[in-house]
Structure 1
Amino acid sequence: MQSNESVTTVAYLAKDATRLLKKLIATPSFSKEEEETAELIQTFLESKGVTTHQFLNNIWAKNKYFNPDKPTILLNSHHDTVKPNKAYTLPPFEPIEKDSKLYGLGSNDAGGCLVSLMAVFLHFYQQENLAYNLIMAATAEEEISGSNGVEILLPRLPKIDCGIVGEPTLMNMALAEKGLLVIDCTAQGKPGHAAREEGDNAILKAMKDIEWFTQYRFEKVSDLLGPVKMSVTVIQTDNKQHNVVPAQCQFVVDIRVNELYTFEEILAVIQQNIQSQFQPRSCRLRSTSIAMEHPLIQAGLSLGRTCYGSPTTSDKALMPFPTLKMGPGDSARSHSADEFIFTDEITNGIALYIELLNKVLLPVSEKKQPVKQ
């Protein structure tokens, strides 16, 4: 049970965090256009006496008594948003508080998580005898899996032992994420006149491969993430004329990969089974998982948090150390019209994050690397 003092502290932190979230909602921050929210975040932290660092549109800070001999936990969430969809009935950049909800673009994904983690960082910032270090990183370009977000920032940070990635999970623990592999496929045929028995129709060749993608099932099914899922999402030809048999047909396959397969294994199976030429767009967003035995997970279990595997990707995919995805809000609201977060989700999220970090016991880190600023 929390003491009256700790309840008061959390309430103050939540009030401050909600004020910041309202400012963030009111400031457009589409991916690659996060300059103004980066400035807001930096100003907020520095107003609390925190020394901050900036690289591109990424803001980060270390706890006051950072000790390179201690292990380090990264607290991370993003401040970019998608663009509002046409179904909005409320102004997306106007923070509206009504019926215990705070409406606005980015309120749920992932503004509530971001301001909650910042509040938690401030709670621990001046404590001298922490068992570990904390680094807070508010990063850019998460919504487009961009290269100028957390991926470009990580090499400039001290060595990280593990991390908490703030994404809306109802404060339950997403232990694993499916990887995202997108491939561009091209079926080759020969052009010909549609009125005669000429050419080799590339659409028909593509259809055979599309049928394979639709019907094939990879054998290994994850307890956390389920099966590998392949979806054909785009198709087009190089032909704009109705009377010409197309020589090429391009299609795109979205593949969600569980933690039991590498991308290379997936691509090898595809190579053996389709006739179309194909090329992966990127192999960056690989599937990830964190062990049940990890101190972050054990701390969460002791607080009654449940575990699951997430079908969505996040910056967790770009982190080469164990990470837990966990945050206030609900993933089902992300990218929806009239996006919102319950204000008490922020309060409860801050309290649970603090309890979690108070229970974490990390082994002492062995290898260090210098900070690059």
Structure 2
Amino acid sequence: MKNLKEKSIGLLIDLIKTQSFSKEEQQTATIINTYIQSFGVKTHRELNNVWAFNKYYNPLKPTILLNSHHDTVRPNIDYTRDPFLPEIIDGKLYGLGSNDAGGCLVALIATFLHYYDNPNLKYNFVLAATAEEEILGLNGLESVVPKLGTLDFAIVGEPTQMHLAVAEKGLMVLECKALGKSGHAARNEGENAIYNAIEDILWFKTFEFPKQSEMFGPIKMSVTMINAGTQHNVVPSTCDFVVDVRITDAYTNEEVLEIIKAHTKCEIKPRSTRLRPSFIALEHPIVKAGLHLGRTPYGSPTTSDQAVLKIPSIKLGPGNSARSHTADEYVFVHEIEEGIDLYIEILNQLVL
């Protein structure tokens, strides 16, 4: 196990050195593919996604998906270090993507390799190292899932300090257009689309959905962009605005959209309804196994690849979400090492 941990840190160092912005993950996909194959594992690759099944995969057994991503955001302007220079200083491994989600990814790969050639597993494992998570793109995990067979539940590797993110908010972005009629501002002409938009904007600000999530409380709707008018003396005939809707497990995205349309007058076009809220019961075996080992359950406000899964899933991984997307990103080496141990301990406790 010590050797596997050392190799995992070496893999993460190689990944940090290699630019892998969303949609540009070709090189890191190759690195991951080659690394897994070096252990004698047969891999599959499509675009920038790599996946593999345990050696004695049996379709009659339950299957657990181990997933994390290898794309990164672009480094922000506040970096004081080279984001592609991996250095270990005082136990911290610095570099872009080290915390989000490189530490999680290499720890899950190590976990998969630990179980890979065990002929007596009670369940199957499928490992998926996927692309485009940071933009929730169509060519990431969502495109791979149909190729993985029947899945019973998933562990999605994101930095949670190895605590149990048992719920995650969904996201729906609405493009809204309030209509009016143009006219001269100096005369009593036209119908001001801005005023019509204000009525709906006030509704978005004040409306409370009847059902609330036990984990998250109420759904949050925020008007975040607005645009109208062409010149000062013309009453605008349209007013466009954007609404960010963070959906809880109390509703489906479709139910929320139906309620919004029933209460507003503007034209509403959702950019997407595919980023769904997720929730796994506290009685689920993977949660019970984590609780037995002293892990704490909580609801995560951030969106991950859980949003495109239609099976129970838990977000769990080494690192700290507060470091994600920050300048001079880092993960502690001991967090990765302990994360590997905890993944294995939790899975050893698991009774499906």
1:160 is matched with: 151
Query: Quick one: which amino acid aligns to residue 180 of structure 1?
Result: L
Counterparts of 1:98 and 1:154 in 2: how far apart (Å)? 38
Matched, 1:13 2:9: no
Q: Deviations over 1:144-169 (max 9, x none)?
A: 11111111111111211111000111
Deviation at 1:124, TM superposition (A): 1.0
1:48 is matched with: 39
Counterparts of 1:184 and 1:78 in 2: how far apart (Å)? 29
Counterparts of 1:203 and 1:87 in 2: how far apart (Å)? 38
1:51-130 aligned within 5 A = 51-130=42-121
Counterparts of 2:82 and 2:198 in 1: how far apart (Å)? 43
1:213-224 aligned within 5 A = 213-224=204-215
Q: Deviations over 1:127-157 (max 9, x none)?
A: 1111111111000111111111111111111
2:340 is matched with: 350
Matched, 1:272 2:294: no
1:251 is matched with: 241
2:198 is matched with: 207
Q: Deviations over 1:54-104 (max 9, x none)?
A: 011110011112122211111000111111111212111111221211111
1:305-344 aligned within 5 A = 305-344=295-334
Q: Which moved more, 1:260-269 or 1:193-202?
A: 193-202
1:15-30 aligned within 5 A = 15-30=6-21
Q: Deviations over 1:187-223 (max 9, x none)?
A: 1112223333332222222122111111112232222
Q: Which moved more, 1:208-217 or 1:144-153?
A: 208-217
Q: Deviations over 1:219-254 (max 9, x none)?
A: 3222212210001111112x3333322211111111
1:175 is matched with: 166
Counterparts of 2:230 and 2:76 in 1: how far apart (Å)? 30
Deviation at 1:302, TM superposition (A): 0.7
Aligned residue for 2:298, secondary structure, equals strand
Q: Deviations over 1:331-359 (max 9, x none)?
A: 11111121111111101100100101111
TM-score for both structures, normalised by structure 2: 0.97
Counterparts of 1:186 and 1:122 in 2: how far apart (Å)? 52
Matched, 1:190 2:181: yes
1:227 is matched with: 218
Counterparts of 1:338 and 1:357 in 2: how far apart (Å)? 33
Deviation at 1:12, TM superposition (A): 2.6
TM-score for both structures, normalised by structure 1: 0.91
- Provide the alpha-carbon RMSD of the alignment: 1.3
Q: Which moved more, 1:268-277 or 1:100-109?
A: 268-277
Q: Is the 8 A contact 2:227 2:239 kept in 1?
A: yes
Counterparts of 1:234 and 1:357 in 2: how far apart (Å)? 45
Query: Quick one: which amino acid aligns to residue 133 of structure 1?
Result: N
Query: Quick one: which amino acid aligns to residue 330 of structure 1?
Result: N
Q: Which runs of 5+ in 2 are unaligned?
A: none
Matched, 1:297 2:287: yes
Quote the sequence identity (%).
Answer: 59
- What is the aligned residue count? 352
Aligned residue for 1:70, secondary structure, equals coil
Query: Quick one: which amino acid aligns to residue 151 of structure 1?
Result: E
Find 1:150's aligned residue among 138, 141, 146: 141
Q: Which moved more, 1:137-146 or 1:217-226?
A: 217-226
Q: Which runs of 5+ in 1 are unaligned?
A: 1-8, 363-373
Q: Is the 8 A contact 2:254 2:273 kept in 1?
A: no
Q: Deviations over 1:10-43 (max 9, x none)?
A: x332221111111111111111111111000001
Aligned residue for 2:178, secondary structure, equals strand
